[in-house]
């Protein structure tokens, strides 16, 4: 066993997540909470975080299964532990990482709803431009879909992040990581129309640089407000799918893949840290391909007509 550092492992891990990984406070606390839960479990079992073995980790996961913890939560907890023990090994607390041979729980494949191009147009057409916020909502949906943004990225988008002459925007994603994303000419046009309306809003001091402003509150749109706007527009468009702001991000990625884009390009556009996160869109595309074959292949048509 390597020599311990002056601070406790948990204290040093927190510093590592904040300073070296650059995690947001919310994400940092989620990691710490997961590790602290495991630390409490090990303490109750009379063990020690620095001498944990593979079997103890397996027992912990078995306990999670027994109490009915969802596989996705199990996978998240395991991811946090892998990160923690990877740090302990890197920082000299332990010589080997006990999580390396631990298998992740099998997750049920969940394919998110995706909007077709026609459905996206129907949502946009459902916007009432005679209303004060109409052009803002039109620009908002176009940017959401054109750039594949998370709702938090949309709400935090600033005018200083826009490079419309170059047809790019700068997006600040998870962990304050920034990326440049192309923006479509149509989205640029809708933004410019919106800026004409935005100029008449008396924005509260300190928020002047934010793109999407609530006329009533004179502050940036909140995530909840964007969810509410999307739900109303989808209902007005007569679309029966389960649609949220994130659906436009899924649709953006799926349409890119269907158009022939490389998964690595989509990964960079979405700001995914792991290509594994992006690969769900490949599965969506294969599923759609199968549906199209069953719907349009002459052999299948013959079978249906002769049932």
23-29 CB contacts, 8 Å cutoff, 24+ apart? 23/175, 24/174, 24/175, 24/176, 27/174, 27/175
Domains in the chain: ranges and CATH: 9-90 (1.10.150), 117-292 (1.10.443.10)
The reply to whether 281 belongs to the active site is yes
Q: Which two tokens stand for residue 288?
A: 């759609």
Find the catalytic residue in 13, 31, 85, 281: 281
pLDDT given at position 141: 96
The reply to whether 216 belongs to the active site is no
Dist. CA 190–CA 195, nearest whole Å: 9
Helices (H), 199-279: 223-236, 245-258, 263-270, 275-278
The angle that helices 54-66 and 25-44 make with each other, rounded to 10 degrees, is 100
Find the catalytic residue in 76, 82, 246, 288: 246
Tell me whether strands 162-163 and 178-182 are parallel, antiparallel or unpaired.
unpaired
Phi, psi of 220 (to 5 degrees): -60, 150
Find the catalytic residue in 174, 179, 223, 288: 174
Find the catalytic residue in 150, 198, 250, 255: 150
Phi, psi of 66 (to 5 degrees): -60, -35
* The three-state (H, E, C) secondary structure of 193-215, written as one string: HHHHHHCCCCCCCCCCCECCECC
Dist. CA 115–CA 121, nearest whole Å: 10
Find the catalytic residue in 14, 249, 250, 255: 249
User: Tens-digit pLDDT profile for the chain (307 aa)?
Assistant: 444 445 789 999 999 998 888 888 888 998 999 999 999 989 988 888 999 998 999 888 888 877 777 777 888 888 999 999 999 999 999 999 999 888 877 766 566 688 999 999 999 999 999 998 999 999 999 999 989 898 999 999 999 999 999 999 999 887 788 888 889 999 999 999 999 999 999 999 999 999 999 999 999 999 999 999 999 999 999 999 989 998 998 888 888 877 777 767 777 778 776 655 556 555 555 555 455 445 544 444 444 455 5
Dist. CA 244–CA 226, nearest whole Å: 9
pLDDT given at position 110: 60
pLDDT given at position 297: 45
Find the catalytic residue in 122, 179, 272, 288: 272
Q: Given strand 168-172, what is the order of strands in its sheet?
A: 162-163, 168-172, 178-182
The reply to whether 150 belongs to the active site is yes
pTM: 0.58
pLDDT given at position 260: 74
Dist. CA 287–CA 289, nearest whole Å: 5
Dist. CA 165–CA 125, nearest whole Å: 26
The reply to whether 283 belongs to the active site is no
């Amino acid at each position: 066993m390597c020599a311990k550092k002056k601070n406790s492992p948990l204290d040093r891990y927190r510093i590592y997540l904040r300073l070296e990984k650059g995690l947001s406070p919310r994400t940092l606390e989620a990691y710490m909470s997961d590790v602290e839960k495991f630390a409490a479990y090990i303490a109750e079992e009379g063990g020690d975080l620095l001498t944990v073995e593979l079997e103890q980790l397996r027992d912990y996961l078995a306990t999670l299964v027994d109490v009915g913890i969802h596989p996705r939560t199990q996978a998240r907890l395991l991811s946090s532990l892998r990160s923690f023990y990877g740090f302990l090994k890197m920082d000299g607390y332990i010589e080997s990482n006990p999580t390396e041979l631990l298998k992740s729980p099998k997750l049920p494949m969940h394919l998110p709803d995706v909007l077709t191009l026609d459905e996206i147009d129907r949502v946009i057409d459902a916007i009432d431009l005679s209303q004060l916020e109409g052009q803002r909502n039109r620009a908002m949906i176009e940017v959401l879909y054109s750039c594949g943004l998370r709702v938090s990225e949309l709400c935090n988008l600033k005018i200083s992040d826009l490079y419309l002459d170059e047809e790019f925007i700068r997006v600040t994603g998870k962990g304050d990581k920034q990326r440049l994303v192309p923006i479509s000419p149509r989205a640029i046009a809708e933004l410019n129309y919106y800026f004409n309306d935005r100029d008449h809003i008396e924005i509260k001091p300190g928020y002047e640089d934010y793109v999407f402003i609530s006329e009533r509150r004179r502050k940036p749109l909140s995530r909840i407000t964007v969810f509410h706007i999307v739900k109303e527009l989808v209902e007005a468009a007569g679309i029966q799918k389960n649609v949220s702001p994130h659906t436009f991000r899924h649709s953006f990625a799926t349409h890119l893949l269907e158009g022939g884009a490389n998964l690595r390009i989509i990964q960079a556009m979405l700001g995914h840290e792991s290509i594994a996160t992006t690969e769900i869109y490949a599965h969506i595309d294969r599923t759609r391909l199968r549906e199209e074959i069953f719907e349009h292949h002459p052999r299948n048509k013959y079978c249906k007509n002769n049932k």
